[in-house]
């Protein structure tokens, strides 16, 4: 039988850390549409922290900014692009 010396070792895979989506100089504001639009799905939903890789504090600020932009009609509440054909 061919047994290795350490059967339960983890394989050493190298991985590249993803850059954080919000840099230290970025202002989370309802007017910063290029930043806010990264955190909204195609349906218009706010994406989760796990998907965005942001901290809880950042996500709270993003959520407030998105809601302000929706109220000021800078962003749509829903993004339904389904065309009804008759």
The pLDDT assigned to 18 comes to 75
Question: CA–CA separation, 86 vs 83, rounded Å?
Answer: 10
Q: Assign residue 54 a region: left if phi > 0, alpha if psi is -120 to 50, beta otherwise?
A: beta
Residue 21 DSSP one-character state:
S
**Long-range CB contact pairs, 57-60, < 8 A, 24+:** 58/22, 58/28
Task: Report the pLDDT value the prediction gives residue 4, as an integer from 0 to 100.
Answer: 61
32-84 pLDDT, tens digit per residue, is 999 999 999 988 999 999 999 999 999 999 999 999 999 999 998 887 766 55
């Amino acid at each position: 039988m061919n047994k290795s010396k350490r059967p339960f070792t983890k394989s050493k895979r190298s991985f590249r850390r993803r850059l954080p989506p919000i840099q230290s100089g970025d202002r989370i504001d309802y007017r910063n549409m290029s930043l806010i639009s990264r955190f909204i799905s195609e349906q218009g939903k706010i994406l989760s922290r796990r998907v965005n890789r942001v901290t809880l504090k950042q996500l709270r600020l993003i959520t407030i900014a998105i809601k302000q932009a929706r109220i000021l009609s800078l962003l749509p509440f829903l993004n339904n692009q389904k065309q009804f054909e008759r």
